[in-house]
Amino acid sequence: MALHLSDHFTYGRLLRFTLPSMTMMVFTSIYSVVDGFFVSNYVGKTAFAAVTLIFPLLSILGAAGFMLGAGGAAIVGKLLGEKHPRLACRSFSLFVYATLGSGVVLALLGEAVLQPVAMLLGAQGETLEQSLLYGRISLLSLPCFMLQFCFQPFFVTAEKPKLGLAVTVGAGCVNMLLDALLVMELQWGIAGAATATVVSEMLGGLMPIVYFSRPNTSLLCLESACWSVRMLMRGCSNGVSELLTNVSYPLLMALYNYQLLRFAGEDGVAAFGVLLYVSFVFSAIFLGYALGVAPLVSYAYGAKTIYELKNLFHKSMVLNLAAGFGLAAMAFVAAQPLAVVFTGYDASLCTLTTRALRLYAPVFLLCWGNIFGSSFFTALNNGIISAAIAVLRTLVFGVVAIFAMPYLLGLDGIWLAWNAAELATFAVTVSLLVWKRHAYHYV
């Protein structure tokens, strides 16, 4: 039976509705993980370190797509709850076209700053050459990469989360197959990994345009846009937390790389790359749930169905808490097998990676609250609080932790830094949720 934004959601129905989004985010994160696996095992740790160093810049450039998608979906979901379907479609079209146009501009900007940024991040010699090669090829699909981010929340808002999952899985499978062909069989090296990602991102970004441009059975379709600067700015301000998260998180990764080069050299950066990939996949479950439940929250808020808003909040807290304990335990137990998969060719690097993963594992007990809290306020069209959580999590607590913890605990302090940042942010998130409970009536 089809699920609709206006339904009442039990635990089972809520999981059914959000499961495609969670799976979709996991597959999205697998793009970079697959590249890392093939590059690390078939090209070498220098190339692996090069991908890890340049990835933050590519993520920063693509972050505007997530901002426009998340912020725009909150507005569109509220409009659907208020029974304005035509305006919802025209607003949806505005955010998609804005994403495509900004993608072209940012790709050109990325090409201009690629080399100086790579050098600033510490790349030199062969690592610099490999970083530039991977980055220049990857920039070719930046507009489509941004469209992928933009369409993810809109698929859910359109009541088509399974279609969004199918598009992402299809693109992800293409990425994996091309990685195996180009890197492992044809031995194209790092250029093969980048080419595989470009092709998959083009498929993932362009297929939704084809679907929404034609008559379809979803709540949304692409048509003439509502060319409103005010509407666009509302979407940007509402989704600014997603922008800040996706911009500041790569910046924080760059600081991690900088500290690791000082404390552990190239091996430290390679170990961090594995930790990063595990974090991407595990955190994608929380991000996917937040993505899936956000349109339900926006719709209930727009329709003023307070009972359902409370229901969604309470059940979301229970589900996320259970997932946090489960993933933390899994990350700790699976640390060594995961390290072997990526770095089994180097015993000392494998040992370093295993310790890093085990020290990092408790982060999943906390990060769910900060991810859900920020997304929840975005869905309520409160971009200010959502952005405050994102800024504190990364640019304040994250930066302080990455510089302070190593001086207290040495190399272990780097692996534990994000735990400290998540703990401090979690305390703030809980305080904000308690503070705003009467304004939005979700408790």
Token pair listed for 407:
């001086």
List the chain domain ranges: 11-440
CB 201 within 8 A of CB 171: yes
d(CA 250, CA 256): 10
Encoded tokens for 1: 């039976």
Residue identified by tokens 């990060």 is 367
pLDDT at 32: 61
Residue carrying structure tokens 């900060």: 370
Cα-based distances in Å from 34 to 57, 271, 398: 19, 16, 27
| CA–CA gap between residue 384 and residue 424 (Å, rounded) | 19
Please tell me the predicted confidence (pLDDT) of residue 339: 84
Residue 426 backbone phi and psi in degrees, to 5: -60, -40
Query: Per-residue DSSP letters for 115-153?
Result: HHHHHHTT--HHHHHHHHHHHHHHGGGHHHHHHHHHHHH
Task: For residue 19, count CB atoms less than 10 angstroms from its CB and return exposed for 0-12, middle for 13-18, buried for 19 or more.
Answer: middle
What are the angstrom distances between the C-alpha of 423 and each of 134, 226, 278, 287, 400?
A: 35, 42, 19, 18, 13
Structure tokens at 391: 């800024």
d(CA 168, CA 164): 6
Instruction: At 128, list the tokens.
Output: 């610099």
Q: How far does CA 34 lie from the centroid of its chain?
A: 16
The dihedrals phi and psi of 150, each to the nearest 5 degrees, come to: -65, -45
Per-residue pLDDT at 275: 82
Give pLDDT, residue 140: 94
pLDDT at 320: 96
For residue 1, the model assigns a pLDDT of 61
Length of the chain: 443
Q: Do the beta carbons of residue 378 and residue 74 sit within 8 Å?
A: yes
CA distances to 56, 120, 253, 330 from 351, rounded to whole Å, are 25, 29, 21, 18
pLDDT confidence of residue 101: 94
E strand or H helix at 37: helix 11-42
Residues 6 or more apart whose CB falls under 8 angstroms from that of 398 comprise 248, 252, 417, 418, 421
Taking alpha carbons only, the member of 433, 440, 434 closest to residue 373 is 433
pLDDT in tens, the chain (443 residues): 677 888 899 999 999 999 988 888 887 776 666 767 788 788 877 787 788 778 778 888 888 888 898 888 889 998 998 989 999 999 999 999 999 999 999 999 999 999 998 888 777 788 888 889 999 999 999 999 999 889 988 999 998 988 888 998 888 889 889 988 998 888 888 899 899 989 999 999 999 999 999 989 999 999 888 778 888 888 888 777 777 777 777 678 778 878 888 888 777 877 887 887 788 788 889 988 998 999 999 999 999 999 999 999 999 999 999 999 999 999 999 888 888 877 777 778 888 888 989 999 999 999 999 999 999 999 998 888 998 998 899 889 999 999 999 888 888 998 999 999 999 999 999 999 999 999 999 98
3's CB contacts (< 8 A; 6+ apart) are 13, 16, 17, 159
Distances (CA, A) of 305 to 7, 16, 312, 373: 11, 21, 11, 20
d(Cα 148, Cα 141) in Å, to the nearest integer?
11
pLDDT at site 349: 82
Q: Given this model, what pLDDT does residue 31 score?
A: 62
**Both structure tokens of 254:** 């760059």
Using alpha carbons, list the distances in angstroms from residue 239 to 171, 255, 316, 382, 432: 25, 25, 21, 9, 18
Question: Which of 279, 248, 225, 217 has its CA nearest to residue 60?
Answer: 248
Rounded to whole angstroms, the Cα distance separating 219 from 290 reads 20
* SS3 label, residue 40: helix
Pairwise CA distance, residues 116 & 322, whole Å: 44
Burial of residue 214, with CB atoms counted within 10 A of its CB: 0-12 exposed, 13-18 middle, 19 or more buried: exposed
Cα distances (angstroms) measured from residue 186 to each of 30, 131, 178, 183, 312: 22, 20, 10, 6, 50
